[in-house]
Amino acid sequence: MSDERLDVRKTYKLLINGAFPRSESGRSYKVSTKSGDFLANVAQGSRKDLRDAVLAARGVQAKWWASSAYNRGQVIYRLAEMAESRRDELANHVGAAEGLGEQQAEQSVSRAIDRIIWYAGWTDKIAQVYGGANPVAGPFFNFSLPTPSGVVAVLASQESSLEGFVDAVLAPIAAGNTVVSVASELRPTPAVLLGEMTATSDFPAGVLNIVTGVTSELAPTLASHEDVDGIDLSGVNLDEANELSVSAAGSIKRVFRPRPNDTDPTRRLRAFIETSTVWHTIGQ
């Protein structure tokens, strides 16, 4: 028997409801390294894939929010553990996608993992920082409680293939939202690899959904979708963001738009939080 064998070529799939399907359209597209060499074939998601992902995210959102803040933090921390165990693979893809040297790519992965841990630590602090007891004129308790917006669409950064993706998806997830994300169109593989790790990091199916493909084709569907409660426009240019914001207004979505040189690391955490006011009588 010959020792020669063919390589097992991987097509990077979508992540929808905890499974890794190809696009229902059957399409895929080629992704190249920063230098123009072939890197991978990636599933090219469709509007139908997005609708399936939104359905999955809506179906699990109440369950994700109902779990304790401590539990959500442990789930996110487990993702950091998985990323740490596959850091070499992540660094290879980040380096190839962004044209970084080995050391720079490793540093980028380290920063991304540190951010995952940072968001894990925020899950049980959001209520303390953004909630409060309010003074009232009467025998009542009055509390302001932060609650998640619901299902958040994320158009991830086109340039920062891993760090930008981590920030965009984990901020709303830490706050109790579920996410449907469109990964970087030209640099999707680090995001897909991270998505694969959720299968073994206790993430409930549907909390994080990842669709790869042409951002300009997919973004309008999410902006106008009636069952999406918020959208992060980090991955589109100014003109596209303006157009998508108008579309999002039709269903009264919360909209997050990045700011140049933004130094507030908690702004994304606040972007998709509502405030619920609770009154309760003071017992005698």
Q: Over the stretch 17-42, which tens digit does the pLDDT of each residue have?
A: 999 999 999 999 999 998 889 999 99
- CA-to-CA dists, residue 137 to 142, 175, 278, angstroms: 10, 31, 15
Q: How far apart are CA 240 and CA 251, in angstroms?
A: 18
Across the chain, what does the average pLDDT equal?
93
Q: Over the stretch 80-98, which tens digit does the pLDDT of each residue have?
A: 999 999 999 999 999 999 9
Comparing CA positions, the residue from 251, 229, 214, 216 lying closest to residue 180 is 229
Q: How far apart are CA 172 and CA 164, in angstroms?
A: 13
Spatial contact of 108 and 115, defined as CB atoms under 8 Å apart: no
pLDDT at 141: 84
Q: In what order do the strands lie in the sheet with 208-211?
A: 208-211, 178-182, 151-155, 230-232, 254-256
Q: Both tokens of residue 243?
A: 């157009």
Domain boundaries, the chain: 11-26+38-65+125-281
Q: Which listed CATH number (3.40.50.2000, 3.40.605.10, 3.40.30.10, 3.40.50.720) goes with 11-26+38-65+125-281?
A: 3.40.605.10
Which span out of 4-13, 27-36, 109-118 was modeled with the highest average pLDDT? 109-118
- CA-to-CA dists, residue 70 to 74, 114, 174, angstroms: 6, 18, 10
Q: Both tokens of residue 245?
A: 């914001």
pLDDT category of residue 133 using cuts at 50, 70 and 90? confident
- pLDDT above 70 (res 283): no
Q: Over the stretch 212-262, which tens digit does the pLDDT of each residue have?
A: 999 999 999 999 999 999 999 999 999 999 999 999 999 999 999 988 877
